[in-house]
Chain A
Amino acid sequence: MAKINIGEAFQTPLTLMGKTPIILVPALIASIIGLLLSLGLEELCYKS
């Protein structure tokens, strides 16, 4: 296990996102489901 280089670890994924935009898709799906869940929860709180 190597020591994490913080600067590199923060910068490279940005380049990768530009090169391979499909890595955005799983995060987008998770965000939409998360948003629907929080909207459902809000509705539940409002009703009670």
Chain B
Amino acid sequence: MSWQIFLVSVISSVITLLSMAWVTLILEKELSGGKTNFSESWIDLSKKSGNLIIAAIVVSVIISLGTFLYLIPGIILATIFLPAIPYTAIKNATLDKALGFSFSFVFSQTNFLAILLIVIVEFLLSLLPPLVGLFLANLFISIWLPYVYLKYGE
């Protein structure tokens, strides 16, 4: 039974990370002053889907393993590895480059604390009743984290 819970948790996390990648592409256009086009961002997402799916699966497995061991390692691992997803969405980077960037971005200056705060808020939102909690948590992590990457990570 526990492996089924783990599997559902990984699949759900992969979908959230892919939605985060999609939002990153929309936000990048918006922040660079271009006109945001929904279908164009979808096509762009599909072009980068190979690297994105690999990154999303690996990051989801790492975070889910951490969460299953105890909650705190999951939160810390999410803080360290989540920025790899917006980076992959923009640069179409391979997994090793994305994880390397994520590590150096999180540990440069006091960025760890800021990203940790975003992850903790997302976790607290996910504790709200199912539909509202899930929506708000997904919304929060898939908009705030790409913004932080686009504004401070580039």
User: A: which residues have CB within 8 A of B?
Assistant: 1-6, 8-10, 12-13, 16-17, 19-20, 22-31, 33-35, 37-38, 40-41, 44-45, 48
The contact of A6 among B22, B36, B114, by CB within 8 Å, is B114
Contact among A4, A16, A23, A24 for B152, CB-based, below 8 A: A4
Binding site for A on B (CB under 8 A): 1, 4-5, 8, 11-12, 15-16, 18-20, 22-23, 26-27, 30, 36, 38, 104-105, 108-111, 113-115, 117-118, 130-131, 134-135, 138-139, 142-144, 147-148, 151-153
Asked if B38 contacts A34 (CB within 8 A), the reply is: no
Q: In the complex, A6→B111 CA distance in Å? A: 9
Q: Is the CB of A38 within 8 A of B19?
A: no
Known: A4-B115, A9-B151. A34 touches B12 (CB 8 A): yes
Which residues of B lie under 8 Å from residue A25 when comparing CB positions? 38
User: Smallest CB-CB separation from A12: which chain B residue?
Assistant: B147
Given contacts A9-B114, A22-B36, 7 further A-B contacts (CB under 8 A): A1-B111, A4-B148, A10-B144, A23-B27, A27-B138, A30-B19, A38-B134
